[in-house]
Amino acid sequence: MADLDVVLTAAAPSEAPAFEAVGKFAIFERPLLTMPFNVTGTPAMSVCCGYTAAGLPLAFQLAGKPFDEAAVLKLAHAYEKATAWRSIRPRLDSECWRSAGARPADRDLVESSRSRATTTSLRPRRTDA
């Protein structure tokens, strides 16, 4: 990487599998393309670059030189500003969940966590009262 500032690779070998298709030991069944950077401590991040026909997100990953997180973050930010993917959210309707193979309970869990996240105050609490 001496001659490179950043490397662009796939973040995953394929689209995300259906929830039921992920086994207990799935980490050993599919290659983890992020693993080399995780193990070496190389700054890297995944960036959304589109969606499948079923509405599942696709991503690539950027990896930089050791201790050069700024280059990775700047390039990811530039990509997100230049494309519309950042502003698009996956559908969470029933049809989308069925096509992705999820159960209704999975949808309810995501929806309840989403409503908690939007109603939780992010203001710091007073500790002197």
pLDDT digits (tens, 9 = 90+) for 6-44: 999 998 888 777 777 777 777 777 778 888 888 888 999
Give mean pLDDT, residues 111-121. 44
Q: How far apart are CA 6 and CA 31, in angstroms?
A: 22
- Average pLDDT, rounded, for the chain: 75
Would you list the domain boundaries of the chain?
6-89, 90-120
CA distance 61 to 75: 11
pLDDT digits (tens, 9 = 90+) for 49-70: 888 887 778 899 999 999 999 9
Average the pLDDT over 115-122 and give the result. 42
pLDDT at 129: 47
* Exposure letters 60-95 (e unless 16+ CB within 10 A, then b): bbbbbbeebeeebeebbeebeeeeebeeeeeeeeee
Distances 24 to 13, 16, 21, 27, 54 between C-alpha atoms, Å:
19, 15, 10, 8, 24
Q: Which region holds residue 92: left if phi is over 0, alpha if psi is between -120 and 50, else beta?
A: alpha
Q: Between 127 and 86, where is the model more confident?
A: 86
pTM above 0.75, yes or no: no
Which token pair is 115?
A: 């409503």
Per the listing, tokens 């700054």 go with: 43
